[in-house]
């Protein structure tokens, strides 16, 4: 589904991603862990098409298309979704109006008819129940004045509404209490099927108790320095990132 080869990216002349290789197949859940500043959000942003990041080398294939060649909106149309680490506040734009526009634009991209008011409402009600989201939140300006938890739930709600093929969750768990984490995980698990894939970026192992990954990768200083199964996440939790650091010659290892 997604094949990242030797991806290098920089911002403001600073190299952040230094050769990422990662293949994600349909039906899989991957987790990326790593210390602050290692480039996790950068990877997510590059995949979603943020133009401030310059890709200097490498390629990304998504469902047979050259992902890096597509506009952010086309990537969404193709089925990519990024749950932002820091969702943006948009004053004056109601959350409902935003989501309705997004849903119908994505449908249009896929050559489907726009949902009518009734169809949209039905879909929304269904997903609101899953995400435990209140109507009053959706009539407010997008993310404006939302609590941290509300913003994160709203991200996953959008994901549920857009039904992407491939979703990236950038630290969706940070700042959430355990109940909220369960709700978020439940939303993600509802999306999972043999045709979809998820990339979970997280600091903590606890989210992975609920969204069980098939593979865990450690991103360090712009490179994936270690990959393993879900046991790796437990090991990281126990020993911290220092044990990664102490494994010598990280740089050379992944060349």
Partner 1 sequence: MNTKEYFKEQFEQSNVQDRNNLLDVVRRQAFDTFSKLGIPGAKHEEWKYTRISGLFNKEYSFGVNLTQDPLTQADIDAIRLPGHESANELIFINGRFSAQLSIVRSSQLIVLPLEEAARGEYRQLVEKHLGHSSKYQKDGINALNTAFVQAGIFICVEKGQVPDHPVFIYNVADAKAVNVLSQPRTLVCIGEAAQVQIVETFSTLGSQESFTNQVMEIIVEKDAFVEYYKIQNDKANAHQVSTTHIRQIGKSHTHAVTISLNGGMVRNNLNVVLEAAHCEAHLYGLYFQQGSGHIDNHTVVDNVEPNCLSFELYKGIMDDASTGVFNGKIFVQPQAQKTNAYQSNKNVLLSREASVNTKPQLEIFADDVKCSHGCTVGQLDEEGLFYLRSRGIPEKRAWSLLLQGFTMDILEKIKSPAIRTYVDGLIAERLEFRSHGQQEID
Ligand X SMILES: Nc1ncnc2c1ncn2[C@@H]1O[C@H](COP(=O)(O)OP(=O)(O)O)[C@@H](O)[C@H]1O
Residue 39: CB minimum distance to Mg ion, A: 8
Considering only residues 108 through 137, tell me which ones interact with partner 1, judged by CB under 8 A: 109
Contact residue for ligand X among 39, 77, 87, 213 (CB under 6 A): 39
- Kindly state whether residue 36 participates in binding ligand X, applying the rule CB under 6 A: yes
CA distance 8 to 156: 28
| Shortest-Cβ-distance residue relative to Mg ion | 41
Residue 15: CB minimum distance to Mg ion, A: 17
Contact of 156 with 188, CB cutoff 8 Å: yes
The label of the residue with tokens 């990537």 reads: 75
CA distance 99 to 189: 21
Closer residue to ligand X in complex, CB, 34/49? 34
- Kindly state whether residue 90 participates in binding partner 1, applying the rule CB under 8 A: yes
Contact residue for ligand X among 3, 11, 204, 206 (CB under 6 A): 11
- Kindly state whether residue 42 participates in binding Mg ion, applying the rule CB under 5 A: no
Contact residue for ligand X among 2, 22, 24, 42 (CB under 6 A): 42
**Which residue ranges make up the site for partner 1 (CB under 8 A)?**
48-52, 71-73, 75-77, 81-82, 84, 87-88, 90-93, 97-99, 101-102, 105-106, 109, 141-142, 158, 162
**Which residue ranges make up the site for ligand X (CB under 6 A)?**
11-12, 14, 16, 34, 36-42
């Amino acid at each position: 589904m997604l094949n990242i080869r030797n991806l290098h990216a920089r911002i403001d002349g600073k190299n952040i991603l230094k050769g990422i290789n990662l293949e994600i197949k349909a039906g899989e859940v991957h987790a990326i862990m790593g210390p602050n500043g290692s480039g996790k959000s950068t990877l997510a942003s590059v995949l979603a098409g943020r133009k401030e990041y310059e890709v200097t080398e490498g390629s990304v294939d998504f469902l047979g298309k050259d992902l890096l060649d597509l506009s952010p909106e086309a990537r969404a149309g193709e089925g990519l979704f990024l749950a932002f680490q820091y969702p943006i506040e948009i004053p004056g734009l109601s959350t409902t109006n935003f989501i309705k526009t997004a849903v119908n634009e994505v449908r249009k991209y896929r050559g489907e008819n726009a949902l009518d008011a009734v169809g949209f409402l039905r879909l929304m009600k269904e997903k609101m129940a899953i995400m435990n989201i209140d109507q009053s939140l959706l009539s407010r300006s997008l993310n404006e004045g939302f609590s941290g938890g509300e913003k994160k739930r709203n991200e996953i709600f959008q994901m549920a509404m857009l039904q992407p093929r491939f979703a990236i969750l950038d630290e969706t768990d940070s700042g959430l209490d355990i109940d909220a984490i369960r709700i978020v995980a439940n939303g993600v698990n509802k999306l999972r099927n043999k045709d979809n894939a998820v990339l979970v970026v997280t600091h903590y192992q606890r989210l992975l108790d609920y969204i069980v990954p098939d593979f865990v990768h450690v991103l360090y200083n712009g490179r994936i320095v270690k990959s393993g199964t879900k046991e790796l996440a437990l090991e990281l939790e126990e020993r911290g990132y220092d044990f990664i650091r102490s494994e010598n010659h990280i740089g050379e290892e992944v060349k």
